């Protein structure tokens, strides 16, 4: 499956959207990526970073490719729900709570801690902007 992702098939990418990275074990991903930033970007683009805990695949990508702008950004993009009904502030608050729970876990490498801090800052910025927009009367 990982090789099919690399072929650039938009159909496969659409089907794999946000589940492939968490559906395989970290050793398989590590071996397939094999130090390639392009492959790491591909995996990050289809990886949900985690639910109650940060997925080991996301942790690997952050630690090994956190200096690349696209890999951490793609993982942050994976936090966003495919669809949402309700106020955006509520969505951002749920995401902030989820990511804060990851930060409460001990033993993260410094790269993961930095990624979590940056992610929380960005989510808070988005929450504040959504709150302001929701407070404005409809025109």
Query: Could you tell me the two tokens for 16?
Result: 């794999």
| Interacting residues of 126 by C-beta distance below 8 A, sequence separation 6+ | 88, 92
**Is the alpha carbon torsion for 28, 119, 98, 45 positive or negative?**
negative
| Interacting residues of 6 by C-beta distance below 8 A, sequence separation 6+ | 39, 42
Q: DSSP letter at 106?
A: S
CA of residue 124 relative to chain centroid, distance: 16
Q: In this predicted structure, what is the pLDDT of residue 133? A: 92
Q: In this predicted structure, what is the pLDDT of residue 8? A: 57
Q: How far apart are CA 104 and CA 32, in angstroms?
A: 31
Q: What does the domain layout of the chain look like in residue ranges?
A: 2-135
Q: Is the pTM of this model over 0.75?
A: yes
Q: In this predicted structure, what is the pLDDT of residue 24? A: 76
Residue numbers in the chain where pLDDT is lower than 70: 1-23, 139
In total, the chain counts a number of residues equal to: 139
Q: DSSP letter at 50?
A: B
Q: In this predicted structure, what is the pLDDT of residue 48? A: 86
pLDDT tens per residue, range 64-97: 999 999 999 999 998 988 778 889 999 999 999 9
Q: In this predicted structure, what is the pLDDT of residue 9? A: 56
Residues 78-96: b if buried by 16+ CB within 10 A, e if exposed: bbeeeeeeeeebebbbebb
């Amino acid at each position: 499956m990982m090789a099919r992702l690399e072929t650039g098939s938009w159909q496969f990418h659409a089907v794999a959207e946000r589940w492939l990275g968490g559906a395989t074990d970290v050793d398989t991903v590590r071996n397939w990526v094999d130090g390639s930033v392009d492959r790491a970007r591909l995996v990050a683009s289809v990886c949900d970073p985690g639910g109650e805990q940060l997925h080991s695949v996301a942790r690997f990508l952050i630690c090994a490719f956190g200096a690349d702008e696209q890999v951490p950004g793609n993982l942050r993009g994976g936090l966003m729900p495919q669809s949402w009904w309700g106020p955006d502030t509520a969505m951002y608050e749920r995401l902030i709570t989820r990511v804060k729970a990851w930060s409460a876990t001990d033993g993260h490498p410094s790269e993961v801690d930095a990624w979590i801090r940056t992610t929380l800052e960005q989510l808070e910025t988005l929450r504040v902007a959504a709150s302001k927009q929701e407070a404005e009367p409809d025109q």
